Structure 1
Amino acid sequence: MDKLTLNNIYMNYHSLKNSTKALEDISFTIEKGEFLSIVGPSGCGKTTLLNIIAGLIKPSSGEIYIDNEKITSFSHKMGYMFQKDQLFEWLNIWNNILIGIKIQRKSINAYKTKLETLLKNYGLWDFRYHYPQELSGGMRQKVALIRTLALDPEVLLLDEPFSSLDYQTRLNISDEIFKIIKNEGKTAIMVTHDISEAVSMSNRIIVLSKRPARIKKIFNIVFKEHHDSPLKSREDPEFRIYFNHIWKELNY
């Protein structure tokens, strides 16, 4: 993938009595390998926007292109990681990560080596025959990511993927998942309420307004010193400056 482009996205919800505007004139481009976060007030439509990008919801108007190809339905170039890990408790880890391959009726043998490598590289190989209830919350999220990566999507869509974890686990697993995404060369779009999370992980942050959501401001996150992990980014003197600017933007 070279780039993903959103052009003038509007979303209105209709009922028998009225119409509610959810998104208003959303346009931006994300380049290959970029990590983009979307923040905004609760209920402003962040997840709706992510679902539109995924092709799960059709916008009222506007277009989305990936490599100049218009997206009209769910694209296999997209991988979606939800708030909860959505693992099947009755399947072991190996069979959980095979779900997408089986659904698309692809050859398991064609993906076996890749999946074994992912599990070995990211500390899950010894747990491949364990069941989800035997793993910590952080490890379950890693399994969910490996399952998303199994079909080699070009863009990862992350909907508050760490929100169900306790603070310490959240810090550690966000660091691990960031490194996995970078190591695998993926482009990522993450929705989050956590400003610190967004600043520590992102190249850019889009701040949305209250509903109807429009783009209020876009922040380019550039630290003078390059950091290879979100935990190190949080220690940078510029981290708090970015945090404060985004906090003010969200509250005014």
Structure 2
Amino acid sequence: MIKVEINNISMNYHSQVSETPALKDISFTVQEGHFLSIVGPSGCGKSTLLNIIAGLINPSNGEIAIKNCDDCSSFSKIGYMFQKDQLFDWLTIWDNVLLGLKINHCITDDNLEMVKNLLTRYNLWEFKNHHPRELSGGMRQRVALIRTLALKPEVLLLDEPFSALDYQTRLNISDEVYEIIKKEKKTTIMVTHDISEAISMSDEIIILSNRPAVIIKNINLKFEENFSLPLKRREAPNFRVYFNEIWKEMNRNADSKR
């Protein structure tokens, strides 16, 4: 079942003297419960596209549809994780996780119980009275994800969610975040510069061209069941095949612009 539908999205930035096209006629769908990643060269408009999907900016043309959502026009069913965890150091982990619910006036006994269950399920309940500075980078990212899940989003948007972490932590947290997302059955769209990260976590990858960005290829990923987790996928025989295919497409596009 299609959960997210992107139809003919274009984006032009205007100044007093010129118009700069960023995105051109972008269309794709995301199946419910799937994990889709968007890759492409720096500055091609990946984060711009994510911001349009989130409803933070309006496209020049096109529309976004979220299926089976009661209040799609307000984009209230979208959860957004940024590059940094955006946790407040003066608040405890418990208060950080509840922040979105408080802002939206959604503090109820049921929601408090849900947050407690999420923290317990993902091994953070014993740290509820700690402050973010007392946690590792990977733990902070889990807290940020749980804060996002507390709002019960239909769709998760991840903008370079591990870029602020060191390489070893990135590898470990990718497994943890992936498992949380899959257990919570969230439809997810991630932007990343890291091709290996995209392959290890995704069901599908979209490759964008240089600006003005168009979709140059859409790749569905298939791995055997024993290569289900991100770290394990990196050992799969077809991992390098996917990597080379994506790398070749991105380089071909870069060469055509020279």
Cα separation, 2, equivalents of 1:112 and 1:150: 9
- Quote the residue 2:209 is aligned against: 209
Question: Is the Cα–Cα contact under 8 Å of residues 69 and 77 in structure 2 kept in the other structure?
Answer: no
Tell me the TM-score normalized by structure 2: 0.94
The reply on whether 1:28 has 2:28 as its aligned counterpart is yes
1:13 partnered with 2:31 = no
Equivalent position amino acid for 1:133 in 2: R
Q: Which residue of 2 aligns with 1:96?
A: 96
Deviations 1:119-174 (A, max 9, x none): 01101011000000111111100000000000110110000000010111000001
Specify the code of the residue in structure 1 equivalent to 2:89.
E
Task: Tell me the distance in 2 between the aligned counterparts of 1:25 and 1:218.
Answer: 15
Q: Which residue identity is paired with 2:191?
A: V
Q: Please give the TM-score of this superposition, normalised by the length of structure 1.
A: 0.96
Shift of 1:228: 2.8
Aligned residues: 252
Segments of structure 2 that go 5 or more residues without pairing to the other structure are: 253-258
Equivalences for residues 78-227 of structure 1 within 5 A: 78-227=78-227
**SS class of match (1:163):** coil
SS of aligned partner of 1:91 = coil
Residues 177, 68 of structure 1: alpha-carbon distance in 2 compared, 3 angstrom cutoff: closer
Greater shift in the superposed pair: 104-113 or 40-49 = 104-113
Alpha-carbon deviation of 1:109? 2.2
The farther-off stretch of 26-35 and 224-233 is 224-233
What displacement does 1:82 show?
0.4
Tell me if structure 2 keeps the 8 A contact 1:82–1:158: yes
Shift in Å at residue 227 of structure 1? Answer: 2.9
Aligned equivalents of 1:62 and 1:170: distance in 2?
35
Structure 1 unaligned blocks of 5 or more: none
Other-structure match for 1:236: 236
Contact kept in structure 2, 1:23 and 1:214, CA below 8 Å: yes
2:60 aligned partner? 60
RMSD over aligned CA atoms reads: 1.6
Alpha carbons of 1:100 and 1:70: their partners in 2 closer, same or farther (altered >3 Å)? closer
